[in-house]
Structure 1
Amino acid sequence: MNPALLALGATVLTGALAVGGAHLYASGRARGRTLADRLSGDATDPLAARTGRARPFAGVDRRLRRTRLGRAVHLRLSATGLDLTAGEFCVYVTAALTALWLIAATSLAPFFGPIAALVGVWGAAIFLNWQRQKRIEAFITQLPDVARLLANATAAGLALRTALAMAAEELEAPAGEELARVADQLTLGRSVDDALDELAERLPSRELIVLVTTLVLANKAGGSVVGSLRNLTRTLEDRKETRREVRTMLSEVNATAFTVPLLGLGSLVLVNSSNEGALARVTGSPLGQGLVLLALGLYTVGFFVIRRLGKIDV
Structure 2
Amino acid sequence: MTSSQVAWLALAITALALALAVWGLHSWAGGRRDRAALVDRLADIPGPQRHSAPFAGLDRRVRRTAWGQRLGGRLAATGTNLTPGQFVAAGAGVILGSWILADVIFAPFFGPIAALLALWAATSFLSWRQRLRNERFIAQLPELARVLANATQAGLALRTAVGMAADELEAPAGEELRQVDDALAMGHSIEDALSGLQGRLPSRELVVLVSTLVLSSRTGGSVVESLRNLTVTLEERKETRREIRTQMSQVTVTAYAVPAIGIGSLLLLNQMMPGALRAMTGSGLGRILVVVALGMYVVGFALIRRMSRIDV
Q: Tell me the TM-score normalised to structure 1 length.
A: 0.85
Q: How does 1:1-314 map to 2 (within 5 A)?
A: 29=35, 37=42, 44-45=44-45, 48=46, 54-314=52-312
Q: 1:195 to 1:62 in 2, by over 3 A?
A: farther
Q: Which whole-Å CA distance do the structure 2 matches of 1:224 and 1:54 have between them?
A: 53
Question: Which residue of structure 1 lines up, in the alignment, with residue 5 of structure 2?
Answer: none
* Cα distance, 1:274 vs structure 2: 1.6
Structure 1 range deviating more: 181-190 or 258-267: 181-190
Gaps of 5+ in 1: 1-13, 38-42
* Cα distance, 1:221 vs structure 2: 3.1
Q: Which whole-Å CA distance do the structure 2 matches of 1:143 and 1:169 have between them?
A: 15
Q: Is the 8 A contact 2:94 2:118 kept in 1?
A: yes
Q: Which whole-Å CA distance do the structure 2 matches of 1:196 and 1:130 have between them?
A: 24
Q: Which whole-Å CA distance do the structure 1 matches of 2:107 and 2:30 have between them?
A: 58
Give 2:251's aligned amino acid.
V
* Cα distance, 1:50 vs structure 2: 8.4
Q: 1:113 to 1:28 in 2, by over 3 A?
A: closer
Q: Which whole-Å CA distance do the structure 2 matches of 1:179 and 1:161 have between them?
A: 10
Q: Which whole-Å CA distance do the structure 1 matches of 2:66 and 2:72 have between them?
A: 10
Q: Stretches of 4+ moved more than 6 A in 1?
A: 17-24, 50-53
* Cα distance, 1:26 vs structure 2: 6.8
CA deviations over 1:102-130 (Å, ceiling 9, x no partner): 00011111110010010011111222111
Gaps of 5+ in 2: 1-18
Structure 1 range deviating more: 216-225 or 155-164: 216-225
Structure 1 range deviating more: 157-166 or 107-116: 157-166
Q: Which whole-Å CA distance do the structure 1 matches of 2:32 and 2:302 have between them?
A: 51
Question: Which residue of structure 2 lines up, in the alignment, with residue 9 of structure 1?
Answer: none
Q: Tell me the TM-score normalised to structure 2 length.
A: 0.85
Give 1:236's aligned amino acid.
L
Q: 1:21 to 1:98 in 2, by over 3 A?
A: closer
Q: Which whole-Å CA distance do the structure 1 matches of 2:54 and 2:94 have between them?
A: 17
Give 1:163's aligned amino acid.
A
Q: How many residues get paired? A: 295
Q: Which whole-Å CA distance do the structure 2 matches of 1:28 and 1:276 have between them?
A: 59
- Which one has the largest radius of gyration? 2
Q: Which whole-Å CA distance do the structure 1 matches of 2:48 and 2:222 have between them?
A: 41
Identical residues among aligned pairs (%): 54
* Cα distance, 1:52 vs structure 2: 6.6
* Cα distance, 1:79 vs structure 2: 1.6
CA deviations over 1:197-228 (Å, ceiling 9, x no partner): 12112111110111112122223334332211
Give 1:277's aligned amino acid.
G
* Cα distance, 1:83 vs structure 2: 1.4
Q: CA RMSD in A?
A: 2.7
